[in-house]
């Protein structure tokens, strides 16, 4: 464990950032609030003054490396919640390498996550710094479910991830990140096939998926590629990582003028619920893991914070860029997420 108990949070006043700050406080750590807008940082510190007076406020922008160095000074780790991550991940990882502290982000952008593995794997390992991209609902949770279902195996014939969201009201960050990804893809879509990511111009297929009760049979959009396709394929040898999303959720998130998540409890969570089913097929055998919970943005906070605590506590398997399933004991990690996430396994 680091000596200061301080964890820098970039994008602290953003939608997911606020959940991360609250989770750090709940776990007894000292978040350092970082971002571009000093006024919003001060306001966030004020809201938490009753729990932890005098939270550190450190304005920083990704275009100013010196400001990032000041933001990370004395911190044990940094959690990057500031998207779009195509523009923020690289500068913040560079700052973490200079400070020699672990880096975790909640990126959902498939390309940005792939870039982190491509550009920083060797440097992070050489520096002895652990870098964990996509430690969130997309990327981290699915990777842990698949890894736990695999058990001791490190290969599979097929991996399926099926997402059922009761609704999907996107944050401003989701909309901005989606726009960046669409621009990078030039209207094409990403699919993980033949052991790699490839761009296609055809329309995503649709179908039906039989989810566990009470969700049941649902219309889905197939090949709804998420960051899990990157994180899983980094440490599991599998030719196909297929994902599907309930059609209603896809319609929600793509609707013009889609509303932002509406808080309905004291924690700021929305009423949205989720079910994620991981299906791993290998050698004629099939294993399944199912996760249930509430609010895909809020649940990213315990995922990211638990990852930081495990890295700082010496419970990560190695340094360098790695995904959740590669770094941690997947079943133990999933168990630690209760009561935020409930998990079941079936063979």
Could you report the per-residue pLDDT of 22-72, keeping only the tens digit for each?
Answer: 999 999 999 999 999 999 999 999 999 877 777 999 999 999 999 999 999
Other CB atoms within 10 Å distance of the CB of residue 344: 11
Is this structure's pTM higher than 0.85? yes
Check residue 192 and give its pLDDT.
86
* H helix or E strand, kind and range, residue 273: strand 273-282
14-18, 107-111, 194-198: least confident range: 194-198
Q: How confident is the model over 88-112, as a mean pLDDT?
A: 97
pLDDT averaged over every residue in the chain = 95
Q: Is the pLDDT of residue 198 over 60?
A: yes
Phi-psi region for residue 32, left (φ > 0), alpha (ψ -120 to 50) or beta? Answer: beta
**What would the mean pLDDT of 203-207 be, rounded to a whole number?**
95
Question: With 70 as the cut, is the pLDDT of residue 248 above it?
Answer: yes
CB 300 within 8 A of CB 312: no
Q: What are residue 218's phi and psi, to 5 degrees?
A: -140, 145
224 band by pLDDT with thresholds 50, 70 and 90? very high
Mean pLDDT of the 302-330 span: 98
Tell me what percent of the residues of the chain surpass a pLDDT of 90. Answer: 90
Mean pLDDT of 214-222: 97
Q: Does the pLDDT at position 16 exceed 90?
A: yes
Of the candidates 171, 136, 192, the residue with the CA atom closest to the CA atom of residue 324: 136
Burial class (CB in 10 A: 0-12, 13-18, 19+), 216: exposed
Q: Which of 21-25, 181-185, 304-308 has the lowest mean pLDDT?
A: 181-185
Query: Quick check: 223 pLDDT over 90?
Result: yes
Residue 2: predicted pLDDT: 62
Residue 4's alpha-carbon distances to 27, 28, 30, 68, 72, in angstroms, are 14, 12, 8, 18, 12
- Residue 347, pLDDT above cutoff 80: no
Residue in 276, 294, 328 with CA at minimum distance from that of residue 104: 328
* CB 83, CB 177: distance < 8 Å: yes
Count Cβ atoms below 10 Å from residue 262 Cβ, excluding itself.
12
> CA dihedral defined by 172, 175, 179, 180, rounded to 10 degrees?
60
Task: Kindly give the pairing relationship between strand 196-200 and strand 30-35.
Answer: unpaired
pLDDT of 1 above 60? no
Find how far residue 199's CA is from the centre of its chain.
22
**Across residues 117-145, what is the average pLDDT?**
98
């Amino acid at each position: 464990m680091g000596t200061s108990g301080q964890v820098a949070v970039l994008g602290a006043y953003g939608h997911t950032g606020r959940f991360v700050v609250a989770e750090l406080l709940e776990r007894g750590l000292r978040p350092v609030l970082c971002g571009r807008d000093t006024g919003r940082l001060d306001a966030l510190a004020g809201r938490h003054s009753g729990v932890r007076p005098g939270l550190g406020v450190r304005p920083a922008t990704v275009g100013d490396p010196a400001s990032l160095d000041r933001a990370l000074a004395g911190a044990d780790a940094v959690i990057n919640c500031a998207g779009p991550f195509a523009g923020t991940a690289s500068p913040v990882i560079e700052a973490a390498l200079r400070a020699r502290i672990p880096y975790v982000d909640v990126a959902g952008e498939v390309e940005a996550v792939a870039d982190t593995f491509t550009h920083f794997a060797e440097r992070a390992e050489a520096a002895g710094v652990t870098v964990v991209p996509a430690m969130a609902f997309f990327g981290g949770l699915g990777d842990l479910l698949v890894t736990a279902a695999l058990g001791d195996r490190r290969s599979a014939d097929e991996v399926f991830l099926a997402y059922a969201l009761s609704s999907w009201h996107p944050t401003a960050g989701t909309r901005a990140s989606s726009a960046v990804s669409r621009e990078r893809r030039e209207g094409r879509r990403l699919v993980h096939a033949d052991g790699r990511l490839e761009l296609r111009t055809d329309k995503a297929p649709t179908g039906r998926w039989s989810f566990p009760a009470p969700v049941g049979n649902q219309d889905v959009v197939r090949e709804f590629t998420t960051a899990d396709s990157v994180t899983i394929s980094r440490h599991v040898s599998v030719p196909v990582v297929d994902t599907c999303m309930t059609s209603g959720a896809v319609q929600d998130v793509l609707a013009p003028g889609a509303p932002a998540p509406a808080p309905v409890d004291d924690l700021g969570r929305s009423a949205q619920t989720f079910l994620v089913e991981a299906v791993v097929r290998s050698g004629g055998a099939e294993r399944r893991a199912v996760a249930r919970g509430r609010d895909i943005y809020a649940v990213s906070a315990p995922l990211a914070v638990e990852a930081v605590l495990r890295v700082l506590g010496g419970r990560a398997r190695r340094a360098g860029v790695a995904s959740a399933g590669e770094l941690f004991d997947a079943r133990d990690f999933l168990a630690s997420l209760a009561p935020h996430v409930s998990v079941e396994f079936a063979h």
